[in-house]
Amino acid sequence: MARRPARRGRERQGPRRDAPAARQRAAGGPLAGQRARRRHLRRGVHAVHAAGDVHAAQPVPAPLRRPPRGRAGVLRPHRLRPRHPHPRPQARGRGRVPVAPRGAAGRLRGVQAGVAGAPPPAHRHHPLAAGRAGDPGAPLRRRLDAVRRRRQRRDGRGVLRGTARAGHRAPPHQGRGGLRVRIAVGQFASTEDWQTNLKTCMTLIDEAAEGGADLLVLPEDSLALFIDEPDRIAEVAQPLDGPFVTGLLEHTAGTRTTVVVGIHEPAGGGKVHNTLAAIRDGAVVAVYRKVHLYDAFGSRESDRVRPGDGEPVVFDCAGWRVGLMTCYDVRFPEMARLLVDAGAQVLALPAAWVRGPAKERHWEVMVTARALENTCYVAASGECGRRNIGASMVVDPLGIVRDRLADRPGLLWAVADREELDEARRKLPVLANRRFRVDPSIRPREETA
């Protein structure tokens, strides 16, 4: 039988260059101890040493299985895992923790498992460092709970920034008797059929009530939207006792969620009112009719809409005072200031912000400015679709966007905190430092044309 030709590569290159190291490992030299020690650590044994003392080795538990990601939006625990679950052994030298004596095979010498009185592993990356040895999953559960608590009061830096959160469920309610109010903001694309829009509103109300929302803000044109023929809105306009609002009243009966929704109601003369209705537990608790009509960027809302009387509307919600504004009102800072002077701590802002050059930037700047200059919360709901930008958001009293949506339907959540509000107004006392008052009298529209 013919001999197989020799393989090219390392086998034909003669003895390996690391032959001395191999001989050292075989003879139990220094390299043998280092490599065996590394294998020993990988097997899950870690010894914790105090200065001048050696304690028992503690077994490292197997990594916990990743919990399933459900509708609650729990963060994946891989973001919470320690960077170094098995730290490398400390080097010897001044100021370093002494290393336990090891034999040639890398095993610990003079260390007995289960020594009475031995302290638990103290390394900050060790899975058992913050919990009991009998409950290795406790540290991870505590970290997940801490993340859930932080998500309720953080700004918009987290997950899902700029994305729709359809189907997202809020964490359990943690209200403290009026100190906190849970806010939900719904966003959807309104259609020409008010019955379809009513079903969409009911779905968002169900999600908000299930998540324990105190306040739900829906878009401006929730009743109906005619993009190509805006004058047709007068054909479907309904009074407050019409079927659309009546359906919402029946749907909210028995719930504690206050719903702010935009409709159009007849105003006579072929025109309508652009109206906001605040609904809670089967009753209308507040009504606001839009004052500033959108006669800008080539649009003429005043051709089909009659303005309101200009009285600021503020109502109570879960121990908080909520003021109402509609879309184009946000461009007029005196409107927001009047509401805050009337006691508003949260501004509910339904809108249907039309797309256009730099319009998205205008929206973000205006909403943020109204919150910052009045040190209050702003919950802005934008209608999305092929004409409007969506971009719903919640901004806190220091102008930080807590959460936002992009241009798709969804539901976002935020928590307004009374202590946070008071702290912001203490650090930034613009309301106390101002020198001018806002005149609440409204001018006739002919003078403003």
Q: Return the SS3 of 398.
A: coil
Amino acid at residue number 142: R
Single out the catalytic residue among 201, 317, 327, 376.
Answer: 327
Q: Return the SS3 of 429.
A: coil
Helix ranges, 261-413 (H):
333-341, 359-374
Amino acid at residue number 151: R
Strands laid side by side in the 215-217 sheet: 283-289, 271-280, 258-268, 215-217, 180-187, 410-417
- Distance, in Å, from the CA atom of 231 to the CA atom of 171, rounded to the nearest integer, reads 42
- Distance, in Å, from the CA atom of 110 to the CA atom of 397, rounded to the nearest integer, reads 61
- Distance, in Å, from the CA atom of 288 to the CA atom of 313, rounded to the nearest integer, reads 6
Q: Are 221 and 301 in contact (CB under 8 A)?
A: no
Q: Are 312 and 296 in contact (CB under 8 A)?
A: no
- Residue 19, class by beta-carbon neighbours within 10 Å (0-12 exposed, 13-18 middle, 19+ buried)? exposed
Single out the catalytic residue among 207, 220, 265, 383.
Answer: 220
Give the residue carrying structure tokens 């009509």.
293
Sign of CA dihedral 193, 386, 396, 77: positive
Give the residue carrying structure tokens 């910052």.
372
Single out the catalytic residue among 201, 207, 265, 290.
Answer: 290
- Distance, in Å, from the CA atom of 222 to the CA atom of 190, rounded to the nearest integer, reads 6
Q: Are 440 and 338 in contact (CB under 8 A)?
A: yes
Residues pairing with 349 in the sheet: 380
Is residue 290 among the annotated active site residues? yes
Query: Which positions ≥6 away from 408 have C-beta within 8 Å?
Result: 163, 164, 166, 187, 384, 390
Per DSSP, the residues of 273-300 read EEEEEEEETTEEEEEEE--S----TT--
> Active-site residue numbers?
220, 290, 327
